[in-house]
């Protein structure tokens, strides 16, 4: 974290209100683990009047308390900056009729919530990428061909679709793993699909810079592939990057990249990283029914 020092300064909210900030806490994949989320905020002594949360996506699914997590984050307003993960997208896609829930999904509390529509309207207006003070946050990863500024512009292309009137049709065309190699002249659904797959699903790249979405394990298990954050000469390296999505990695500080999915819903822990002084806070997750680090 040496490139730029974090600055304790006021943040400009989207309504133009100036939010005085004491601490910013970056938190990885909550996945409906509401009790652990509440316990973690208690442990950090989070003060909603002075502090802010950065949530690295996958706020919901696999865990038991999806509705409560979304309600809490929504209630924080501009105090919580939440980027979308693949599970957040998946829930929206279920509502759009693009995909069917599988037995491991736990979205029923959301699907039948009395305030479902309000939660959905909030969720589909979240960003896919956040940049502030020399730091960037994304759920999964960044492609080596992208600068931070380009990634911001590409995320905005997807955000515009998701916020638009035809968001459900957009999601129905989004599913799939192709294309795997970025090109600046990609257009239409192919372009939007690879942007979402990179920001929300990426772990490994092949040496030619193309995406391989299949492996979910530790980097040492697939030495022929390159973790996205290790790709040589990646153009996004002007900023420090926080990400989640990779429970097999666990919490890792890797120079200017910090991995924050410590697998709470799989019996691991939920971690908060305080941006101002790099203090780490964590609480133990409940034992997982499906075994330790059993999935995403
Ligand atoms: Mn994920």
End-to-end CA separation in angstroms for the chain: 27
What pLDDT does residue 294 have? Answer: 57
Residues surrounding ion ligand 1 at CB below 5 Å: 58, 85-86, 245
Q: What is the pLDDT of residue 296?
A: 74
The rounded Å distance from CA 17 to ligand 1 centre is 31
Per-residue pLDDT reduced to its tens digit, 31-59 = 999 999 999 999 999 999 999 999 999 99
Residue ranges per structural domain of the chain: 19-284
The whole-number pLDDT of residue 12 equals: 52
What residues in the chain have per-residue pLDDT under 70?
1-19, 289-295
22 CA from centroid of ligand 1 (Å): 29
Please tell me the distance between residue 28's alpha carbon and the centre of ligand 1 in angstroms: 10
Strand 226-227: give its sheet, edge to edge.
211-212, 204-205, 226-227
Fold of 19-284: Purple Acid Phosphatase; chain A, domain 2 (3.60.21)
CB-hemisphere CA count at 13 Å for 164? 12
| Cα of 233 from ligand 1 centre, angstroms | 25
Ligand 1 mean position, distance from CA 62 (Å): 11
Contact 200, 84 (CB under 8 A): yes
Compute the distance from residue 207 Cα to the ligand 1 centre, in Å. Answer: 23
Supply the pLDDT for residue 2: 47
Which string of DSSP letters, residue by residue, matches the chain?
--SS------EE-TTS-EE--S-EEEE---TT-HHHHHHHHHHHT--TTT-EEEE-S--SSSSS-HHHHHHHHHHTGGGEEE---HHHHHHHHHHTTS----TT---HHHHT-TTHHHHHHHHTTS-SEEEETTEEEESS---TT--HHHHHHHHHHHHHHHHSTTHHHHHHTT-S----S--TT--HHHHHHHHHHHHHH--EE-TTS-EE-S--S-GGG-TTSEEGGG-TT-TTTTSEEEE---TTT-SEEETTEEE---BGGGTSEEEEEETTT--EEEEEPPPPTT-TT---
pLDDT attached to residue 287: 86
CA of 208 to the centre of ligand 1 (A): 24
Residue in the block written with tokens 């926080």: 242
Torsion of CA 63, 66, 72, 76, to 10 degrees: 100
């Amino acid at each position: 974290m040496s490139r730029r020092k974090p600055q304790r300064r006021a943040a400009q909210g989207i309504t133009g209100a100036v939010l005085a900030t004491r601490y910013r806490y970056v938190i990885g994949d909550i996945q409906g683990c509401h009790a652990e989320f509440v316990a973690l905020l208690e442990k950090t002594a989070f003060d909603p009047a002075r502090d802010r949360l950065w949530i690295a996506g996958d706020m919901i699914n696999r865990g038991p308390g999806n509705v409560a997590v979304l309600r809490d984050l929504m209630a924080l307003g501009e105090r919580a900056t939440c980027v979308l993960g693949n599970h957040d997208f998946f829930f929206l896609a279920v509502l759009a009729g693009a995909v069917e829930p599988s037995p491991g999904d736990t979205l029923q509390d959301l699907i039948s919530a009395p305030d479902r529509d309000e939660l959905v309207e909030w969720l589909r207006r979240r960003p896919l990428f956040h940049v502030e003070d020399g730091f960037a946050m994304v759920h999964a990863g960044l492609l080596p061909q992208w600068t931070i500024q380009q990634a911001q512009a590409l995320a905005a292309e997807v955000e515009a679709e998701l916020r638009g009137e035809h968001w459900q049709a957009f999601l129905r065309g989004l599913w799939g793993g192709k294309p795997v190699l970025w090109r600046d002249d990609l257009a239409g659904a192919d372009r939007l699909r690879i942007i979402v797959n990179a920001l929300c699903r990426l772990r490994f790249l092949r040496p030619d810079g193309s995406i391989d979405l299949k492996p979910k394990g530790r980097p040492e298990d697939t030495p022929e592939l390159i973790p996205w954050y290790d790709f040589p000469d990646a153009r996004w390296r002007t900023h420090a990057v926080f990400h989640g999505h990779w429970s097999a990695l666990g919490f890792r500080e890797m120079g200017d990249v910090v991995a924050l999915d410590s697998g709470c819903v799989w019996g691991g822990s939920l971690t908060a990283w305080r941006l101002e002084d790099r203090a780490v806070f964590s609480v133990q997750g409940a034992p997982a029914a499906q075994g330790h680090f059993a999935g995403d």
